[in-house]
Structure 1
Amino acid sequence: MSSPTTTIDPQLARWERFRAGRNAALATEHGWLTLTSFQWLEAQPSKVELVPGLWSTDGTTAFLTASAADGLTLVETGQVVEGTITATLQDEESLMWVQFGGDDGKQVVAELAMRADKYAVRTRDNSSPVLTGFEGVPTYAYSPAWVIEGRFEPYAEPMDVPIGTANPLVDGVHRSVGEVVFRAPGVPHEIRLHAEEEKLGALNVTFHDETNGDTTDEWRKVFIPRPRPDGSVVIDFNRAINYPSAFTPYGTCPMPVRGNSVDVRVEAGEKLPQG
């Protein structure tokens, strides 16, 4: 007698591989789960929390003054920081600048960032309990009902839309390249969401829905594969993920464009992180 065979849903199997990859990417050293501070630099050389040295900016350039006893080394070269070093960034750029601590001198990385045309330093500590206690992001169970066919309606030219971010002192801009149009379960009308373009023509949609602040974070995002030649797209909300700001108060993640909302509970994708 032959034993019964178990049929595995290929969509479910692909989603499970996606989830394993997502959790592994989050748990990397000096990744989003290791953020422990965000501080603006001042004109006067000053100490900042959790990092040795004196930090400052003249508005164009960032300065760090330290002695060898501070134990700081450059991330890129491993060279000891002794004296004053400088760096210059454009808005929205970041630089993993210096490191210190731990047995290898690399436990904490100080990231220099330019946000809202101002310099800030953000610490990434591999001993952060958010990372050391991470066991994966909670999610809704996979739901085929939330794999939705829709269409992409591109704009003639990209449109820059002002938005807020997870940091109230930092404004953002959403470069909308068009709208994703679809019908969601339980919603009688078509939904239109602004989309940004990603690599190779894929789309990124940042959205609100009725689960926000209950079982999910205040907003999430979903990546959509490149539209087909006829403009049709597949939106798999099972792959909706949190921005880093769901895991840490030190993110500057973009909010959705005003009105980018699904007017129902999207019970698919990532939930609020545990803890």
Structure 2
Amino acid sequence: MSTAADAQLERWLRFRKGRNTALAADHGWLTLTSFQWLESEPAAVDLVPGLWSADGTTATLTAAASDGLTLVETGEPVDGTITAVLANEESLMWVQFGGVDGKQVVVELAVRADRYAVRTRDSKSPVFTAFDGVPTFDYRPDLVVEARFEAFPEPEDVPIATANPLVDGVHRSVGELVFRLPGKDHEYRLHAEEEKLGALTVTFHDETNGELTDEWRKVSTARPRPDGSVVLDFNRAINYPSAFTPYGTCPMPVKNNSLDARIEAGEKQPALAD
């Protein structure tokens, strides 16, 4: 292997180490144990003390000190009624309870499809405690391809489905990544979203989905060069949280972001705990 190839592989191994470390974070995606919509009238929800409700603009929680709930931000006990206001797609790690330190379970308040919901994040979740890394394909240098970014005159908001059939999403397409794959005689065009510092992310289907990989994955690139060129490295294709938990609301690919090829690179379908 050449020195350049060695360096490329080493960078990928560092990427994989960082990815697994991020997934293993306290109260991260691997700890999700429920997703529940809030009703208009105060009511109990599964796995969490207190009475919860939302009126369309404000979420309300009523609990007694004996319920053991505390605010994540300050550690202050919840004794009475508290409220929070979020915009659509926002989330708040709101209250916590359980365990020897009172922090085993964090309750995330979220607004999805303009409706309030709560998700529980339990550090004793078997998916989290059994996690020892995401399985991946071997590194494939041939699936590091040169692409060309063709920006749209203005971003286009494209309606999409999500991992939760009750939640619709929107993909803000800023342009297309145009590229070829080894062994294929035609170009591909994938809609891309813009991330921080001009980086691009594409969410895509390929012919390994449902067999070796989850139903869809995503891959990010650096900011395109001034001439629009960019490296698209499918070895860095990763799963959305919905591959690890049924409680995600992750976006599906836009129509036509499908590859008639087997992308045997990047993350495979994770092995989940029973």
TM-score bracket, shorter-length normalisation:
over 0.9
Q: Which of residues 86, 91, 101 is equivalent to 2:83?
A: 86
2:33 maps to which of 12, 31, 36: 36
- The list of structure 1 runs, each at least 4 consecutive aligned residues, that deviate by more than 4 angstroms after superposition, is none
Counterpart AA for 2:51? L
Secondary structure in structure 2 of the residue aligned to 1:42: coil
Deviations 1:180-237 (A, max 9, x none): 0000123221000000001111100000000000000000000011101111110000
Letter of the 2:92 partner, please give it.
L
Secondary structure of the corresponding residue to residue 261 of structure 1:
coil
Task: Name which of structure 1's ranges 34-43 and 178-187 shifts more when overlaid on structure 2.
Answer: 178-187
Whether 2:196 is the aligned partner of 1:196: answer: no
- In 2, are the aligned partners of 1:41 and 1:55 still within 8 Å (CA)? yes
Equivalent AA in structure 1 for residue 116 of structure 2: Y
1:169 and 2:185 correspond: no
Structure 1 match to 2:235:
238
For residues 8-49 of structure 1, the C-alpha deviation after alignment (integer angstroms, 9 at most, x for no partner) is: 700000000000000000000000000000000001111000
Q: For each residue in 1:58-79, what CA deviation from the matched residue of structure 2 results, as whole angstroms up to 9, or x when unmatched? A: 1110000000000000000100
CA contact (8 A) 1:186 1:264 kept: no
Matched, 1:157 2:154: yes
Matches within 5 A, 1:232-271: 232-271=229-268
Once residues 189 and 183 of structure 2 are traced to their aligned partners in structure 1, the CA distance between those partners, rounded to angstroms, is 15
Count of residues in Structure 1 that have an aligned counterpart in Structure 2: 270
Alpha-carbon contact 1:187-1:263 (below 8 Å) kept: no
Q: Which runs of 5+ in 1 are unaligned?
A: 1-5
SS at match of 2:235: helix
1:97-116 alignment, distance < 5 Å: 97-116=94-113
Match of 1:3 in 2: none
Which whole-Å deviations, capped at 9, do the CAs of 1:223-270 have from their partners, x for residues lacking one? 011101111110000000000000000000000001101110000000
Sequence identity percentage = 76
Structure 2, unmatched stretches of 5+, are: none
Cα distance in 2 for residues equivalent to 1:159 and 1:241 = 24
Alpha carbon RMSD of aligned pairs, Å?
Answer: 1.0
Offset at 1:99? 0.2
Contact 1:30 1:124 in 2 (8 A): yes
Contact preservation (8 Å) 1:209, 1:263:
yes
Q: Find 1:224's aligned residue among 214, 221, 224.
A: 221
**Distance between the aligned counterparts of 1:216 and 1:196, measured in 2?**
22
Residue 131 of structure 1 and its aligned partner are, at CA, apart by 0.6
Question: Amino acid of the residue matched to residue 47 of structure 1?
Answer: A
Give TM-score scaled by structure 1 length.
0.97
What residue is the counterpart of 1:53 in the other structure?
Answer: 50
The aligned amino acid for 2:165 is P
Taking the aligned partners of 1:41 and 1:91, their CA distance within structure 2 comes to 14
1:72 aligns with 2:73: no
**Structure 2 Cα separation of the partners of residues 255 and 119 of structure 1:** 21
Partner of 1:13: 10
For residue 214 of structure 1, give the secondary structure of its aligned residue in structure 2: coil
TM-score where L is the length of structure 2: 0.97
